[in-house]
């Protein structure tokens, strides 16, 4: 089955021809099994096509390959990076970050993608825990790094004079073939845990067969082969961002990047580059629509992930841009698991979509047995790959939800968001889905609070639409005929703005 899916993917990418097979074999012979081999195959096909367009430069796939090679040689010769070394990237989205990913992989280093929005204490914890051998970082973070105890190799992402990724040159290396060039890729470490809490590392060693099913599903359901230009609005240091980056590179797309998200700039980039496919979190999409939906007319596919879509946003996209919205669900630990096509979201604006064929995702009850359709349980992935936790049969995502009889999956929220009110399991997301349909509700977040009588009750925090005069009492009256008894909140409070994390998730801790 794995070989059949491999053949299907290679056929879609035009790699089953004699020339395509030759390029695949030649790339592996030159670089070994790592993502630099992927870049080499793409360069052989799309060499003079634009690979990256960011705030500082526009480079072709040939330039990306040569500059990544030069950087990889420099990392080894000047910074001692070898297989087993730990290279950390503390960067926002730009071409130097992309070059560093390929260069570090070719050198065989374990690559740590650090959250550029992290706190000082979290950076120090990571330095103490992992003892990085090299830190590649953006210049504006210099003071931030100096305030830590880090004292090993450092390299700026961009600089005109000081050593930086953009000025690492070694004459003639693109034709050199020293024996160390053929390496196996190091592990890509994704660090979860937000911006202030303790991070947990999630290792991903690039594995051809592990990624075949998600890769094929994205090609099939999102029709990515059709499009020439993609905009990655989500941070590449996040699992969602790095996965889409490598997918776009494999397909030879023009990849548009910018450092940080601003709705006005994002809309301008989509219009300027005539972007056809964009990866966003729902909060980004909402802000772009509010700023200028006309700038987004070139988009044929909007892939939303990283946080749940609300049905009001789904309806607005369809009304203003047509059937272009898709939803991606996955976790840092288990990767991409569920995809919703525009047709799925037309069927139900609440759905996560349908499971990727071959992915060992199950909805399990509290006894770790598979739940029947319509019964809420935890999304769990059968553990075939984790070497660090071989004794664990299941990877528990912490997300609660269910599958309906038609094969569509639905999210009910995080396990730690669930409350028990008078013995009844209550999920805040259910009340959020009801309240967001009120015409004077702009945004909503629901949390659990203690209650002397019921143990716990819900509290709804409402961000009204601009110039709205709605009050909490009116919202309570509106809710009584729409919500079940156990879903009715103990209180409703109006807030100026619902807080979000930099990754577009509601920051409910700030509402407690």
How far is Cα 133 from Cα 168, in angstroms, rounded to an integer? 18
Kindly state the average pLDDT of the residues 155-174: 82
Cβ burial of 207 (10 Å; 0-12, 13-18, 19+) is exposed
Kindly state the average pLDDT of the residues 341-368: 92
pLDDT surpasses 70 at 62: yes
Residue 209 pLDDT: 42
Categorize the per-residue pLDDT at 24 as very low, low, confident or very high, splitting at 50, 70 and 90: very low
Categorize the per-residue pLDDT at 38 as very low, low, confident or very high, splitting at 50, 70 and 90: confident
State CA 378 to chain mean position distance: 21
User: How do residues 99-128 score in pLDDT, each as one tens digit?
Assistant: 999 999 888 899 999 999 888 999 999 999
Q: Which residue has the higher pLDDT, 350 or 185?
A: 350
Categorize the per-residue pLDDT at 69 as very low, low, confident or very high, splitting at 50, 70 and 90: very high
pLDDT surpasses 60 at 192: no
Kindly state the average pLDDT of the residues 365-392: 78
Categorize the per-residue pLDDT at 14 as very low, low, confident or very high, splitting at 50, 70 and 90: low
Token pair recorded at residue 272: 């300027």
CA angle 503, 509, 512 (to 5 degrees): 150
pLDDT surpasses 60 at 189: yes
Mean pLDDT in the chain? 86
Categorize the per-residue pLDDT at 137 as very low, low, confident or very high, splitting at 50, 70 and 90: very high
Q: What is the DSSP letter of 356?
A: P
How far is Cα 476 from Cα 466, in angstroms, rounded to an integer? 20
Q: Which residue has the higher pLDDT, 423 or 494?
A: 494
Residue 242 pLDDT: 87
**CA dihedral of 344, 346, 352, 358, whole degrees rounded to 10:** 0
User: How do residues 273-312 score in pLDDT, each as one tens digit?
Assistant: 999 999 999 999 999 999 999 999 999 999 999 888 989 9
CA angle 30, 31, 33 (to 5 degrees): 125
Nearest of 431, 437, 424, 443 to residue 497 by alpha carbon? 443
How far is Cα 142 from Cα 144, in angstroms, rounded to an integer? 5
Lowest mean pLDDT among 159-163, 292-296, 499-503: 499-503
Q: How would you classify residue 510: left for phi > 0, otherwise alpha for psi between -120 and 50, otherwise beta? A: alpha
Exposure letters 466-477 (e unless 16+ CB within 10 A, then b)? eeeebeeeebee
Categorize the per-residue pLDDT at 13 as very low, low, confident or very high, splitting at 50, 70 and 90: low
pLDDT surpasses 50 at 174: no
Nearest of 337, 329, 332, 373 to residue 355 by alpha carbon? 337
Kindly state the average pLDDT of the residues 489-504: 93
pLDDT surpasses 60 at 180: no
**Which residue is it, tokens 């990306």?**
64
Categorize the per-residue pLDDT at 195 as very low, low, confident or very high, splitting at 50, 70 and 90: very low
Kindly state the average pLDDT of the residues 170-192: 55
Task: Please give the domain boundaries of the chain with CATH numbers for all domains.
Answer: 35-168+181-206 (3.40.50.980), 419-511 (3.30.300.30)
pLDDT surpasses 90 at 142: yes
Token pair recorded at residue 421: 């009110």
Please state the φ and ψ torsions of residue 261, each to the nearest 5 degrees: -110, 130
Q: Which residue has the higher pLDDT, 382 or 442?
A: 442
Q: Which residue has the higher pLDDT, 151 or 332?
A: 151
Categorize the per-residue pLDDT at 235 as very low, low, confident or very high, splitting at 50, 70 and 90: very high
């Amino acid at each position: 089955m794995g070989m059949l899916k491999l053949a299907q993917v290679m056929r879609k990418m035009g790699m089953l021809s004699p020339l395509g097979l030759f390029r695949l074999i030649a790339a592996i012979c030159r670089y070994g099994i790592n993502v630099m081999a992927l870049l080499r195959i793409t360069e052989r096909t799309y060499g003079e096509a634009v690979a990256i367009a960011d705030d500082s430069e526009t480079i072709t796939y040939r330039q990306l390959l040569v500059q990544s090679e030069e950087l990889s040689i420099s990392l080894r010769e000047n910074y001692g990076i070898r297989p087993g070394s730990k290279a950390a990237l503390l960067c926002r989205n730009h071409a130097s970050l992309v070059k560093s990913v390929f260069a570090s992989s070719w050198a065989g280093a374990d690559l740590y993608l650090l959250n550029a929005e992290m706190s000082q204490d979290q950076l120090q914890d990571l330095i103490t825990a992992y003892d990085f051998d090299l830190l590649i970082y953006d210049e504006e973070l210099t003071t931030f790094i100096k305030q830590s105890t880090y004292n090993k190799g450092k390299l700026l992402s961009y600089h005109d004079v000081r050593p930086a990724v953009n000025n690492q040159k070694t004459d003639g290396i693109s034709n050199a073939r020293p024996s160390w060039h053929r390496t196996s890729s190091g592990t890509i470490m994704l660090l979860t845990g937000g911006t202030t809490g303790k991070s947990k590392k999630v290792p991903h060693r690039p594995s051809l067969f592990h990624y075949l099913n998600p890769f094929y599903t994205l090609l099939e359901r999102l029709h990515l082969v059709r499009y020439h230009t993609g905009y990655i609005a989500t941070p590449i240091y996040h699992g969602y961002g790095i996965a889409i980056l490598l997918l776009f590179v494999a397909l030879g797309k023009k990849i548009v990047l910018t450092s940080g998200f601003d709705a006005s700039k994002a809309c301008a980039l989509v219009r300027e580059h005539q972007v056809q496919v964009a990866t966003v979190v729902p909060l980004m999409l909402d802000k772009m629509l509010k700023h200028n939906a006309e700038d987004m007319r070139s988009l044929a596919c909007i892939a939303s992930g990283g946080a749940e879509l609300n049905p009001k946003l789904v309806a607005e996209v369809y009304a203003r841009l047509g059937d272009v919205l898709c939803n991606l669900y996955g976790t840092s630990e288990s990767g991409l698991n569920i995809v919703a096509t525009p047709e799925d979201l037309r069927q139900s604006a609440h759905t996560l979509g349908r499971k990727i064929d071959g992915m060992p995702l199950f909805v399990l009850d509290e006894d770790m047995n598979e739940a029947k359709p319509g019964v809420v349980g935890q999304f769990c992935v059968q553990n075939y790959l984790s070497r660090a936790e071989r004794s664990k049969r299941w990877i528990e995502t912490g997300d609660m939800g269910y599958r309906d009889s038609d094969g569509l999956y639905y999210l009910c929220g995080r396990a730690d968001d669930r409350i028990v009110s008078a013995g009844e399991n209550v999920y805040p997301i259910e009340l959020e889905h009801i309240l967001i349909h009120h015409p004077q509700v702009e945004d909503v977040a629901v949390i659990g609070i203690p209650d002397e009588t019921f143990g716990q009750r819900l509290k709804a925090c409402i961000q009204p639409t601009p110039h709205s005069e709605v009050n909490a009492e009116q919202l309570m009256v509106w809710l009584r005929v729409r919500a079940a008894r156990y879903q009715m909140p103990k209180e409703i409070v109006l807030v100026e703005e619902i807080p979000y994390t930099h990754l577009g998730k509601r920051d409910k801790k700030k509402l407690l």
